Chains A and B, each alone.
Chain A
Amino acid sequence: MNLTDFGLAAARLALGRREFSARDLTLAHLAAIEALNRRLNAFITVTAEQALAQAAAADAALAKGEGGPLAGIPLAIKDIFCTAGIRTTAASRILGPFVPPYESAVTANLRRDGAVFLGKTNLDEFAMGSSTTSSAFGSTENPWKRRQDPEIRLVPGGSSGGSAAAVAAHLALGATGTDTGGSIRQPASFCGIAGIKPTYGRCSRFGVVAFASSLDHPGPFGRSVEDCAILLRSMAGHDPRDSTSVDVPVPDYPAACARGIRGLRVGVPREYRVEGMAGEIEEMWQSGLGWLREAGATIVDVSLPHTKYGLPTYYIVAPAEASSNLARYDGVRYGLRVPGEDLIDLYERTRGEGFGAEVKRRILMGTYVLSAGYYDAYYLKAQKVRALILKDFTDAFAEVDALLAPTAPSAAFAEGEKTEDPVTMYLNDVFTVPADLAGVPAISVPAGLDADGLPLGLQVIGPPFGEEVVFTVAAALERAAGFAALPAIRAGSPRT
């Protein structure tokens, strides 16, 4: 068995039994990156030296029978988490030269637990996108191929597309992502892996390059639900440096994966059945409900009446917060500087050249909806609709323990599709955005393949701080789905 074939949970057991060393496991993943990253472009920066030093420390700890819960586990870090001494770009030209002097809370927690960092993964610029095509460092390729058309480059989803592609192609055992409108769950669905966005406040945002502060949720990717549970347990926890970080104990998430679902009530939100959704996605949804029923859950129809207003609400709130957060990039204190005739000219040239098209569009949209005379009509109104969307979830969770829905309205699409009109691209996030607006936890689990042989994910949504029930239901789905398909492009594959 190739060392890149292990899942995170299995590798952890094998490392504990000293069946192989953290160094060998790390070298195998670095070799896989060396072989495949030129093609996939999943990593912006590879940190081989750092990884080998962390692996050596893990081996020393493991030899003494010590070592944290992630000792020697090679991970990929989305290049939006600040890593001390390692360039952090958010896939933007404007942060191209930025080397943070501090470490994000989430990556510090992973380091504390012994993880090995292989490098920093590609994303849509400032996490604004659903395809990882807007990166200043080039697009990431989805390792999955259409059966009939293996030459076409498919997108890995986004914005955390580099992390999802790296985990799917066996270049890393797990990865970090951030989910503001679906940026963990949609790429997990497109790449045939699992990814969870926990409750808002569960993972600290300290050291995460800010996009939309009331919506940004750090979370993990893994090739199984249990792998995500192991990672989230390390990433989560209170942090006084993020005033929205919640001071509640972090439960034993891996234990939740082993529980049964007998007696749980799972809701089917009827508004998630949208026009134009592929028939295969509807069928897979029905299969998922059948699996849960067979495992002893009760399926209940529920209504989330404001679902269709989620996307327009998001595309007011998120750009408004982004325009404010991104005001800090002025060419004075860090990042790119483009000289100008005076200070204002320096700001305008730096930002004009430093930001890509989608980021500019969102900054302008945000500036417009916050500008004098429009604030009440757009921003205040959107905040009120957001309250109605949260109430939909609160009402639903008074009746059910969790909700089951598709993750995305389609499988991975080709690069260049859906780019002519921004609204078409935004529609990708129709099923993921509501959970971000409400701040509730949600996971995507691979549930099947479409007729082209591409993976499709199902989404389990839970009440605030209900990650355990989310993991329990997701693990039950995973066991029933028996999803074992692998992408065409992956480490150790004969085709690559």
Chain B
Amino acid sequence: MPLDILTVRRIARLARLRLEDSEIERLRQELGGILAWVEMLDELDVTGVPPMTGAVAMALKMRPDLVTEGGNPEIVLGNAPERIGDFYAVPKVVE
């Protein structure tokens, strides 16, 4: 199924990706090509097949719900592009 420009813009918005106009047409064609190729899966009847959600069949381990580390804002904020005190700084979101 070919993709249209509006769909590419819509998923780019969902993905929070700013695209230049020059990128959009190329991506439309490339994604359309990939989607046409993966349609190969429609040859298969998967009725009654349970979806595989993990690579190894195992039960998740239980552990006590305890705080094991934390309380170090300098480490947590060490890579912040911008900070104010012990907070990450972002453009104003509430007028």
Which residue numbers of A lie inside 8 Å of B, CB to CB?
A: 97-99, 101, 199-201, 214-215, 240, 243-244, 246-247, 306, 308-309, 312-313, 315-316, 323, 327, 330-337, 339-349, 351-353, 355, 357, 360-361, 363-365, 367-368, 371, 378, 380-388, 390, 421-423, 437-439, 464
Contacts and interface: CB of A to CB of B under 8 A. Distances in A.
Contact of A201 (B46, B53, B55, B93): B55
A288 B92 CA distance: 64
A276 B37 CA distance: 18
Contacts of B40: 308-309, 312
A361 B56 contact: no
B81 A343 contact: no
What class of interface size applies to chain B in its complex with A?
A: 35 or more
Given A355-B17, A363-B15, A364-B27, A342 B91 contact: yes
B33 A99 contact: no
Contact of A383 (B20, B33, B53, B80): B53
Interface string B43-62: 01010011111111010110
B31 interface: yes
B14 to A, nearest CB: 5
Contact of A215 (B17, B50, B55): B55
Contacts of B20: 352
B88 A333 contact: yes
Interface string B1-35: 00000011001101111111001000100110111
A240 B11 contact: no
A315 B18 contact: no
Interface SS of chain A: helix
B56 A439 contact: yes
Contacts of B54: 214, 244
A401 B14 CA distance: 46
A388 B18 contact: no
Contacts of B79: 97-99, 101, 333-335
B78 interface: yes
Given A101-B78, A335-B79, A371-B11, A384 B50 contact: yes
Contacts of B55: 200-201, 214-215, 244, 437-439
